[in-house]
């Protein structure tokens, strides 16, 4: 087989099955060189600073380094540019890792994809973006994964609740947007949600609406059961609920003039049957629940290109954090979900277990340190108590000597 034939076959296979492309990849493994690729916004003068670190605990001291928020109660805004792409007719995969090692109480952990014409130095919270994706935590009530698409100038939030991870470990977040208007969200390389863009977001008007000209007919009977017209209340049904106690007797010492007319106490009537109601029978006129007819919505127009963006060229971190310490790492934008899964296993997958072991070890060391400090403090307190007792004994001894000396002096004076 000639080299030319092999090349032609390679091109043919690539054209049939598609070609994997990596549009952006950032793992922060070259020290401070990240500063040449990332631009911090100057829109505000008080943005928080990102630092390059692996944090307090990690799976690999070099591979685990990322951008960490470093100042509490601050907005953060930084972005990195890549060659502009369009996801027309192809899958778009966005992936990155987030580590809330500070045990975050309130703050964002998401990324934004922007059009290529974004002015990075002026990026801010109201800058137009294409997609916003990632975890957001604020108190016990908000622990969700944002999946927000900008469609025709308006940001649309997903109608489903996707819960994010809220522990202190590194987690992998992946969004897959397909050209058939379907999507998938993965956390730690496991699918947690999927579906249709049209069904799970309010991009388009409803396909069907209630017919404004339809009304329920006046003779439409929705009662499934009715009273039996043949059923009659028994003549002996109506009796009092309570009756005078037949066994009660007027006390011998009862004086009608003094005490008034004696009346026996009331008791429940054993013959009382409650309120009479006729039996229920099937309603011969029952037609079922009336359903309002629907018609095609004249304002609805299908859009097979909801998923599509003509320009994607900047990835950004634009967020607020009350307690800083979140580390962002392992950014990947590609058109190949399988490749993203492999990269996730090579990065997050390779460091997650060592990271947990290191955290467990540090916590054990901290526990032993606290115990040792408690023991030392206890010993110091005991030593201090002993010293105090010795001082008290010495003071008592000195007092006794002084008393003896005073007594001796007094005796000598008496003898003289």
Binding residues for an alpha-D-glucoside: 110, 112, 129, 136, 318
10 Å Cβ neighbour count for 8? 11
Q: What does the radius of gyration of the chain's CA atoms come to, in whole angstroms?
A: 41
Give CA–CA dist 402/413, Å, rounded.
17
CB 291 within 8 A of CB 134: no
Give CA–CA dist 212/294, Å, rounded.
9
Tokens for 44, please give them.
Answer: 């505000």
Sign of CA dihedral 312, 314, 318, 323: positive
Which residue positions form the known binding site? 110, 112, 129, 136, 318
Packing angle, helices 337-346 and 348-415, rounded to 10? 30
Strands 111-114 and 294-296: unpaired
Report the phi/psi class of residue 408: left, alpha or beta, with left for phi > 0 and alpha for psi in -120 to 50: alpha
- Of 154, 115, 126, 163, nearest in space to 306 by CA: 154
CB 149 within 8 A of CB 131: yes
Q: Determine the longest span between alpha carbons in the chain, in angstroms.
A: 139
Give CA–CA dist 328/231, Å, rounded.
76
């Amino acid at each position: 087989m000639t080299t030319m034939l092999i090349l032609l076959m390679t091109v043919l296979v690539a054209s049939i099955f598609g070609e994997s492309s990596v549009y952006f990849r950032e793992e922060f493994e070259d020290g401070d060189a990240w500063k040449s690729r990332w631009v911090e916004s100057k829109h505000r003068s008080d943005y928080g600073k990102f630092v390059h670190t692996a944090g307090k605990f990690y799976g690999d001291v070099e591979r685990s380094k990322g951008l960490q928020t470093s100042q509490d109660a601050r907005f953060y805004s930084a972005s990195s540019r890549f060659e502009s792409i369009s996801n027309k007719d192809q899958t778009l995969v966005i992936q990155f890792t987030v580590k809330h090692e500070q045990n975050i109480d309130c703050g964002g952990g998401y990324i934004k994809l922007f059009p290529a014409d974004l002015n990075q130095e002026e990026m801010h919270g109201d800058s137009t973006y294409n997609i916003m994706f990632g975890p957001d935590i604020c108190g016990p009530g908000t622990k969700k994964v944002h999946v927000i698409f900008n469609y025709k100038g308006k940001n649309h939030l997903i109608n489903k609740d996707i819960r994010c991870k809220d522990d202190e470990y590194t987690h992998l977040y992946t969004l897959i947007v397909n050209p058939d208007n379907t999507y998938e969200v993965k956390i730690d390389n496991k699918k947690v949600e999927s579906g249709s863009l049209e069904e799970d977001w309010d991009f388009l008007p409803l396909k069907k609406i209630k017919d404004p000209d339809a009304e329920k007919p006046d003779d439409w009977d929705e009662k499934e059961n009715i009273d039996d017209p043949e059923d009659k209340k028994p003549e002996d049904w109506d009796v009092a609920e309570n009756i005078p106690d037949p066994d009660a007797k007027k006390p011998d010492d009862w004086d009608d003039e003094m005490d008034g007319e004696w009346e026996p106490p009331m008791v429940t009537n054993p013959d009382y049957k409650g309120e009479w109601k006729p039996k229920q029978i099937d309603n011969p006129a029952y037609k079922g629940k009336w359903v309002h007819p629907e018609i095609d919505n004249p304002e609805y127009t299908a859009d097979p290109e909801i998923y599509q963006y003509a320009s994607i060229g900047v990835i950004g971190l634009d967020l607020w954090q009350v307690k800083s310490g979140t580390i962002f790492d392992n950014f990947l934008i590609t058109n190949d979900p399988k490749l993203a899964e492999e990269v996730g296993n090579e990065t997050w997958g390779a460091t997650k277990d060592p990271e947990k072991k290191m955290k467990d070890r540090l916590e054990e060391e901290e526990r032993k340190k606290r115990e040792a400090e408690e023991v030392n403090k206890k010993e110091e307190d005991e030593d201090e108590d002993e010293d105090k007792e010795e001082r008290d004994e010495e003071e008592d001894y000195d007092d006794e000597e002084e008393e003896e000396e005073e007594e001796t002096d007094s005796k000598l004076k008496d003898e003289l």
